[in-house]
Amino acid sequence: MDIFLISDNHVSQSLELPDVVPLKGFLWIDATHEEVAADPEAWRNAIERATGVQIYDPHMTDTLNPNHPSYFDSTQDYGMVVFRKLMLNGAGGNGNSQAPANAEAAAPAPAAESDSSKRKIPAALSKLATQPVTFLIMDHALVTVHERYSRTIDATRTRLLELCNKTEKTPHAIRLPASPEDLLLRLINAMVDQYLDLRQPLTTQLDRWQRALLDPRRPFKDWMALLDARIELRKLENLCEEQHDAMQELRDYFVDIDDGIEISRAKDLLLVRINDVMEHITRVLNHARRLESSIESAVQIHFSAVAHRTNEIMRTLTVITALFMPLTLITGIFGMNFEVMPLLKNALGFWLTMGSMALVIVVMLVFFQRRRYLESQALDRR
């Protein structure tokens, strides 16, 4: 567990939680799920001594639930945000790609692993695996609980550790968070930016599938992967909707705790930051919807192209069948076992019959051409 005391121009790290609430600045208490799950009651008591706030039992349960969706809840003493972030390299941790909204308990890890092994999800889509990060917003503290590996938390912790070694008079390269809310929005904004970085590889993967769907030289066989891609994009869409709702409730929470007389510059900056976060989530949501729509359109175009090619083949076969029908009739007539038939004993009978058959073919071809039954695809495109 990492404890930082952040003030206006100074950062200090402590190995143990303080027994009193800080008068200046605020605390950032960062813990992992393993540390909290080892002794939840002791951890909650330590947080209460350091912040003067007691965390409720339902919120403790939500904090330790690896399948909890993104949401926001508040009490008179603190606010709670659960935000699902991308896993490190799309693996690790106990979370899965996205749990249903009414999930109350974690699914067994072996079952999740076996399900992932059966579904061969492409590399770009395998990065959509997520895990929850819990934020507890208090007056003088921000408490974060997450899985062991978190790129965003680790990067922020590294920057703060670098600032811990500087003196107060040394200018900082970055502006320190002014409040727990400011630090919360910085962390969430960095997590949302990871979703924005996924747009290019996702688009590239789906463009590759679209070209394969419309390639007439080889049949498309990755139908299960395409179905899995659509499922993953639908999960991403649901995930973004939950994140957006949670951020909207957090914004309302920030507005409601205002004194109602005058919005300070700091509060105005928080609202600007959270609006920026919500706009980034909306961009990811719209991109996921566009990709899902592109998949459906590509599949429809694929089947339309297959149907058109089938119609072309059937038209060719129909013309060939129509040409041979009168020839079959003629050969059937001359194949009858009558003793007396015209042209049977005539020396020119064979050539007259063949000539008549050729004439029938020519007449039918002219007829088909005038009725535009034999136009090629090149002429159709013109």
Binned average pLDDT, 10 residues per bin, the chain of 382 residues = 80 78 82 90 88 89 89 89 76 42 36 43 67 89 87 82 61 70 88 81 79 76 76 84 89 73 68 87 86 80 80 85 87 81 80 88 87 62 47
**Which pLDDT score is estimated for 82?**
92
Separation CA 33–CA 132 (nearest Å): 10
**358 and 209 within one domain:** no
Q: Which residue range(s) make up the domain with 111? A: 2-304
pTM of whole model > 0.85?
no
109 inside domain: yes
**293 and 222 within one domain:** yes
**Which pLDDT score is estimated for 122?**
58
**94 and 8 within one domain:** yes
70 inside domain: yes
Q: What are the counts of helices (DSSP H) followed by strands (DSSP E) for the chain?
A: 12, 7
CA distances from 161 to 4, 5, 6, 10, 102 (A): 9, 11, 11, 11, 39
**132 and 274 within one domain:** yes
**Which pLDDT score is estimated for 191?**
87
**357 and 271 within one domain:** no
**94 and 35 within one domain:** yes
User: CB–CB of 160/183 below 8 Å?
Assistant: no
CA distances from 263 to 24, 111, 254, 269 (A): 22, 50, 11, 10
**297 and 341 within one domain:** no
Three-state DSSP state, 257: coil
* Radius of gyration of the CA atoms of the chain, in A: 35
317 inside domain: no
User: CB–CB of 119/227 below 8 Å?
Assistant: no
Separation CA 128–CA 123 (nearest Å): 10
* CATH code: domain of residue 361: 1.20.58
**206 and 249 within one domain:** yes
Domain boundary among 261, 280, 304: 304
Separation CA 241–CA 100 (nearest Å): 12
Q: Which of 18, 28, 275, 251 is nearest to 156 (CA)?
A: 28
**Which pLDDT score is estimated for 334?**
81
Residue at 331: amino acid letter: T
CA distances from 249 to 146, 243, 252 (A): 21, 10, 5
User: Residue 180: which residues within 8 A CB-CB, separation 6 or more?
Assistant: 26, 28, 137, 138, 139, 140, 141, 142
327 inside domain: no
Residue at 244: amino acid letter: H
328 inside domain: no
154 inside domain: yes
326 inside domain: no
**232 and 347 within one domain:** no
**Which pLDDT score is estimated for 135?**
92
**261 and 187 within one domain:** yes
204 inside domain: yes
Q: Which of 117, 96, 114 is nearest to 105 (CA)?
A: 96
**361 and 259 within one domain:** no
* CATH code: domain of residue 240: 3.30.460.20
- Number of domains forming the structure of the chain: 2
**373 and 255 within one domain:** no
Separation CA 378–CA 51 (nearest Å): 77
